[in-house]
């Protein structure tokens, strides 16, 4: 059975997007992008497909 991913609402979706766009590190940018998309209600399976995983 797959585990459910939940994102705590420490930052708003807009703030996550802003941090994603402002990141200069490619690793940090990827992390913020994934968290931002999950916070917007995207599923992990959808995200994995978008990253070719």
Give me the residue spans of the domains in the chain: 11-46
**Using CB atoms within 10 A of its CB, is residue 19 exposed (0-12), middle (13-18) or buried (19+)?**
middle
pLDDT at position 28:
94
Q: How far is it, in rounded angstroms, from Cα 53 to Cα 26?
A: 18
CA distance 39 to 46: 13
Write out pLDDT tens, residues 1-53. 667 777 778 889 899 999 999 999 999 998 898 888 888 877 777 767 766 65
What pTM, to 2 d.p., does this model score? 0.69
């Amino acid at each position: 059975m797959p585990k459910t991913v939940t994102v705590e609402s420490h930052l708003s979706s807009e703030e996550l997007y802003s941090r994603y766009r402002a990141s200069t590190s490619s690793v940090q940018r990827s992390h913020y992008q994934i968290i931002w998309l999950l916070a917007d209600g995207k599923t992990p399976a959808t995200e994995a497909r978008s990253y070719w995983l």
